Amino acid sequence: MRISAAQKTENENRIRAAMDRLLRGEMPPGGKCDIKTLANEAAVDRTAFYGTRPYAHLRAEFERRLQTLQDVGEIPDPREAQITRLKAEITKLRERLAQSEQTVEELTDFHGQALARFAAQHEEIVRLREATDGESKVRRLPTPRTTVIGSCS
C-alpha cells in the first residue's frame, strides 16, 4: 500500500519524536532503546526500517545517534546502564575475591611456618633443659609463687 508524501512526512515526524524520547531515556514500560520500541512508539511497522524501505535512513540515524551517546559514556536505556554497572561491579568483586584468596593462602602458609618454628624452639628448650639437668654448675631458680597475698587494689 502506497502512502502519500504528507503521510510519510507525518510518520517521519512521529519517528523523530519517538527517537528523541528514547535517546533521552524515556522508555515505555517493557521497552528498550532499540528499533522495535522505536517502531512501536511511532506507530510504524518495524519492517519499514530495513532494506530499501522508506524509513531505513531513520534507522541508520537512530543507530548512529545511539552509538554516539554510548561512545561518550551515556547509556539512555536504564536497563543497559544497570547491566553495564553490574558487570563492572562483578569484575571488581572478582578481583577483590582473588586478592582475598591470595591473602588467606599467604596467611595460612605463615601460620604453618610459625607453628613449625614454635615446635622447633620448644624442642630446643626441652633439649637444653635435659642437657643442663646433669651438670652441677647450673643452678635452678625457684619457681614463682602462684598464690596471691593480699589484694591488688
pLDDT in tens, 94-147: 999 999 999 999 999 999 999 999 999 999 988 888 877 666 565 667 777 766
Distance, CA of 41 to CA of 59 (rounded, Å):
14
**pTM of the predicted protein model:** 0.50
SS3 130: helix
Q: Which of 84, 61, 81 is nearest to 12 (CA)?
A: 61
1: confidence class by pLDDT, cuts 50, 70, 90:
low
pLDDT digits (tens, 9 = 90+) for 18-70: 999 888 888 888 888 888 998 989 989 888 888 788 888 899 999 899 888 88
72: confidence class by pLDDT, cuts 50, 70, 90:
confident
Distance, CA of 126 to CA of 115 (rounded, Å):
16
Cα–Cα separations (whole angstroms), residue 120 to 94, 106, 111, 124, 142: 39, 21, 14, 6, 26
Q: Pick the residue with more confidence: 89 or 129?
A: 89
71: confidence class by pLDDT, cuts 50, 70, 90:
confident
pLDDT score of 85 more than 80: yes
| pLDDT at residue number 49 | 87
Cβ neighbours of residue 49 under 8 Å, at least 6 residues apart?
A: 35, 38, 39, 55, 56, 58, 59
